[in-house]
Amino acid sequence: MSLESWLKVGLPAFPLGFTILGAWLYWGDNPLPLLAPPIAFWGLVVLVYLFTNLYIPDRRYTLFLTISATLLWLVTAITSHNLGRFISSKQYGGLISAMATKDFWYAYVCALVGCVAAIKQFIRYEPMIVAQLEQDRAAVNTEE
């Protein structure tokens, strides 16, 4: 795997890191409702990166996958908002009580499904992107 490709895919994960460092460690807030949307969005960005840099003949599959990741991100954002409302209420009694809500499970399952699907596609198609990138660089070098 190319270090350059991992860097390009790793950069969109910064909101996740900022959530952990900022909300949890610096401000001391509960990061549970804030973690799921950046995880889902990271998966969406990885898919957009993949399918804008790589031509795959069956374009319906890539479009369907990207739209599905977008819908998972939307569900994650909505249910994370509801989870945040629950955590700020008097009913919240810790991680176990948050895990007992359906909003927690919808938020995190949708986020993880979207992210894992994107990472699997990245691992599958990254060698093709690197090969294409090397061909493009070689073509530019021969033109000079």
Its pTM stands at 0.81
Q: Please state, in angstroms and rounded to a whole number, the distance separating the CA atoms of residues 121 and 36.
A: 20
Instruction: State both tokens at 12.
Output: 């969109």
Q: Please state, in angstroms and rounded to a whole number, the distance separating the CA atoms of residues 81 and 111.
A: 14
pLDDT for position 114 = 94
Angle at 42 between CA 87 and CA 125, to 5 degrees: 150
The SS3 of residue 90 is coil
pLDDT for position 144 = 65
Phi, psi of 4 (to 5 degrees): -65, -40
pLDDT for position 24 = 75
pLDDT for position 1 = 63
Q: Please state, in angstroms and rounded to a whole number, the distance separating the CA atoms of residues 23 and 32.
A: 10
Place of tokens 């950046």: 38
Indicate the domain borders of the chain.
Answer: 3-143
pLDDT for position 112 = 96
The gap between the terminal CA atoms of the chain, to the nearest Å, is: 28
pLDDT for position 116 = 94
Which of the residues in the chain have pLDDT under 50? none
